[in-house]
Structure 1
């Protein structure tokens, strides 16, 4: 059972769904998995599909009337439903397919509770929409506390690059001030967003359009907001329908430094 400080049934469902998906991902790891071509170099595996079905089973058993948008199965239920779950059953599929364990399972209720599970560390990062926590087997839940102390900044270098040439993440890495203050990391999964909320990363930067309702990013964004991180688009504006990309930082100072660098490159 979920503890009293995160007693929301929705948070419990997000945790259960993320854990169930993570169990599938962990069990299928290392197996020979056929790739399902999705075009433009993107693909899914049988593990993605099975994990998503398992997560949907958890949601359907407890919230049968809610809509779901899944990375693999698409929209189920009304597009304009008041309650919609956003599910990315295996974020980091390419990592997973080549035997790299840097992956995440993301489950989020739009504008509500969310959970991000790391299938291999056993950690589940979650929020009830107000506070953010991490759960580990056999240990009490811990409040997520962002910190810039690591100075590690994860940067998503995967295409597309809709803001180029005005903003290119690779240019940020070459900025003189960036290399003086930060150290880059590239994990190719939104697990890095949970790490910002947990104090394992100072910041995360990615290009893109509106990511607030993306199956890839919604759970991580919810975690970071609940943990008190600074969250904006790459132009410093609030993320949303008119937003561009994402800059999430452990504190305002780190966020300000990154924004000054992106603006100077623009």
Structure 2
């Protein structure tokens, strides 16, 4: 749903920004890149920093009065800005640094338009808050979720705030999970766009409130606009009181996953 402070062109801004960031990520791929240590085994590369700078340039040119929250640069813009863009310039940095092309560029207007770009396929998945589409070679195609693949992406990256009651990794040992689904571990939120596009049946991750996360906001927006079922791991709506994320292509898949998660200790 488009909010009152959103403009019809915001989806194009998100798409242009994500595509610009993806161009940087693709161009810098394979180089020996400087790293910025973030602690606890996390780091950014020069590609993360340069992609974010480029994305912010697109947003500032189109929406100079809006604020931006970037993974690398933090919050920028007027403190009283009514609108906030959430930017993850390179989701899957460890993949990227290891020479793996499974990465995403995420740009989202909080509670509004969003785009997820795949730097290597050239696809941009985007939403205006009402519909979700993928742009490929200049053509826009509606996203149609389906659980037909039976592939479920499970985020195994720490931290695990739900442990020991629940961790997403626990699903992999659940008898009914391996009977019905086939796990995948992509280690990038590009997998959320794939749920919206029908390439994944579902995506599951532990965590707290992910609605305002630079990593997850764009993918959540895509899934919602495409008609997926999106809740926390406790079945509650994503929000301040939320816990993690279950994004499923349809209600049956969501219900099946929730029964397994609850079976691990959640009421």
The alignment yields a C-alpha RMSD, in angstroms, of 0.9
CA distance in 1 between partners of 2:175 and 2:169 (Å): 13
Per the normalisation by structure 1, the TM-score is: 0.96
Which residue in the other structure is 1:29 paired with?
A: 29
Which residue in the other structure is 2:44 paired with?
A: 44
Deviation by residue 1:157-177 (Cα, 9 ceiling, x = unmatched): 000000001111121110000
Which residue in the other structure is 2:190 paired with?
A: 191
Per the alignment, do residues 232 and 35 of structure 1 end up closer, same or farther by CA in structure 2, a change over 3 Å counting? same
CA distance in 2 between partners of 1:79 and 1:60 (Å): 15
- Deviation at 1:80? 5.4
Please say if residues 155 and 205 of structure 2, whose CA atoms lie closer than 8 Å, have aligned partners that are also in contact. Answer: yes
CA distance in 2 between partners of 1:53 and 1:141 (Å): 27
Q: Secondary structure at the match of 1:141?
A: strand
Which residue in the other structure is 1:160 paired with?
A: 159
Deviation by residue 1:28-67 (Cα, 9 ceiling, x = unmatched): 0000001110111110000000000000000000101100
Give the gaps of 5 or more residues in structure 2: 1-6
- Deviation at 1:265? 1.0
- Deviation at 1:78? 4.0
Which residue in the other structure is 1:3 paired with?
A: none
Deviation by residue 1:71-120 (Cα, 9 ceiling, x = unmatched): 00000124553200000000000000000000000000000000000000
Q: How does 1:104-119 map to 2 (within 5 A)?
A: 104-119=104-119
CA distance in 2 between partners of 1:80 and 1:89 (Å): 24
Per the alignment, do residues 80 and 173 of structure 1 end up closer, same or farther by CA in structure 2, a change over 3 Å counting? farther
Asked whether 1:176 is paired with 2:175, we answer yes
CA distance in 1 between partners of 2:58 and 2:34 (Å): 25
Per the normalisation by structure 2, the TM-score is: 0.96
**Which runs of structure 1 show a deviation greater than 4 angstroms over 4 or more consecutive aligned residues?**
none
Give the gaps of 5 or more residues in structure 1: 1-6
